[in-house]
Chain A
Amino acid sequence: MGVTVTKRGRMPKFNAQGIAREIQRFAPGAIVERVGRGLDVKGQPFAGYSARYRRQLKRMGEDPKVDLRLSGGLMNSVKARDATLRADSVEVVIAPDTGTSPQYRAPSERRAYRQASLAEGRFAERGVARTLTKAEGRAFAKSLKYETAGARRIDTGRRSPPHNIVGYWLHFGTPTMRARPWMGLDPKQEAYLLKRIAEIMWK
């Protein structure tokens, strides 16, 4: 005796192109927006910045909010980098790029004094403490003026590590920096994306 099962109505259809497109439209913005609100992939607030880093941000005139952003290079590099469509699956890579950003530092009066002290020989050779030459004195005055000219970012002329590496360090943390997991969707965003994928499959 056999059993015949009949299903009526429309069946869901796996639309790989449509699903990939939806992920590309939604995921990068969702990540950047959530990080902008200071929330991690679980929807929890990020670990706070260290007191030292907060002081540096203040000297740079920057917003001390934990949003993993200084130049904006990392967050602006998050996008769909690759997509693989198969008959029964879709793989979309959303990630920061391999580019770098300028490296900034906070102004530091102490830095000017340290440079002048080095020129004077105070730290170079024991017992030697000569007076700054006129040119060194001028350089010290210029440097001191520069370092005390108000809160701002100073471009060091060096570059950051590649964005994907910085993103990895931020996500998993380092021995000197707490983890701030940011690459991914939080449960609410994931639920929204699954709902949209279901809608696309039933269209």
Chain B
Amino acid sequence: MSGADAAGPVADSAIGDLRAVRDALQRDLLRVLLQLDTNPGEDSLVRRQGQTAVAVYRQIERRLADLGDEIANVTGARAVEAVAAVVGAPPATLPLDVRAELDQIVNGQIGDVVAVFRAANDEIRQAVARGITTGGSLADLVSAVSDQMDVTFRQAQAAVDAAVMAAGRRAVVSIALDVEEDTDEQMVFVYVGPRDAKNRPFCRQWVGKAVVDPRKLDNKQGLPVEDYCGGYNCRHSWAPTPIPLALENGYRIYDETGADVTERFRPRMLEASAVVDVG
């Protein structure tokens, strides 16, 4: 049984919502398209496109506008609730501003989900328009709409996943960045994750290195680096690490310009004997 079907995991409620949207929208659109087959004496879209294409296209357009936007909004709100449930109420011992930051990420992802459905509406409209105006077969048209709905569903699901991962990263990074002079030691942030051909340039540059402040880096994706690392669906993580341990484990420390500032931190080192090759 997949996680999506299993009872319990709260994130699945967001996935369930998105799946319901896809099914509802798909059913509705297909119903409109299949009306073409109910006219007696006509069995192909090509033969009757002149008479009904415009009417069908208008129906589809209207339904997408009404149903799509409405459902996208509902889904967005429900998805936020699900994300919040997964992320959980931050422990009361976390500083208030960290808790506020987590709320902000969770609320922010509503925009991503809605945007995905709005964009998809346009693409479905275009697919329908192409199918009708070029006189393709009804089966191809139905298949195009169905494919597009699958893509949309996965994109919206990816937006929910990305938000959940971003909130997880923020919860870890924020409290480490927040240094209280009296009690806390400064930490550096090790960029952890796979090193392979699929790495984005940002990930290739930083993986296996420690940075002083990830907030000052730019992943060229317009997304906060401390939340999204290299971008949407990034497989990497930030691991806040005390400077002595980072040096002991052989990490080099860099600032936001990419300059190696390891030596600046060297005097703080506790033991310089063990250096581990981290590849």
- Output the least CB separation between B181 and chain A (Å): 11
Residue of A nearest to B246 (CB): A33
CB distance from A87 to the nearest CB of B (A): 15
B50 at the interface (CB under 8 A from A): no
Q: In the complex the two chains form, is B6's CB within 8 Å of A25's CB?
A: no
Residues in A neighbouring B242, C-beta threshold 8 A: 26, 192, 196
The closest CB in chain A to the CB of B19 belongs to A157
Among the stretches B34-42, B57-65, B116-124, B166-174, the one at the interface with A is: B166-174
B276 touches A37 (CB 8 A): yes
B198 at the interface (CB under 8 A from A): yes
In the complex, B12 has a CB within 8 A of chain A: yes
Given A65-B194, A100-B3, A203-B182, A79 contacting B15 (CB threshold 8 A)? no
Chain B interfacial residues counted at CB < 8 A: 63
Residue of A30, A71, A158 touching B241 (CB-CB under 8 A):
A30
Shortest beta-carbon distance from A53 to chain B in Å? 14
The CA-CA distance from A158 to B19 in the complex, in Å, is: 11
Whole-angstrom CA separation of A18 from B93 in the bound complex: 9
The 0/1 profile, CB within 8 Å of A marked 1, for residues 1-44 of chain B is 01110101111100100000000000000000000000000000
Q: A26-B242, A80-B171 are in contact. List 10 more A-B contacts (CB 8 A).
A: A29-B239, A63-B194, A77-B165, A78-B168, A79-B171, A83-B91, A100-B15, A102-B161, A159-B9, A203-B183
Q: Please report B residues at the A interface, Cβ cutoff 8 Å.
A: 2-4, 6, 8-12, 15, 86-88, 90-94, 150, 154, 157-158, 161, 164-165, 168-169, 171-172, 175-176, 180, 182-185, 187, 189-190, 192-198, 233-242, 244-245, 248-249, 276, 278-279
Q: List 6 A-B contacts (CB under 8 A).
A: A36-B193, A37-B249, A82-B91, A98-B86, A152-B198, A158-B4
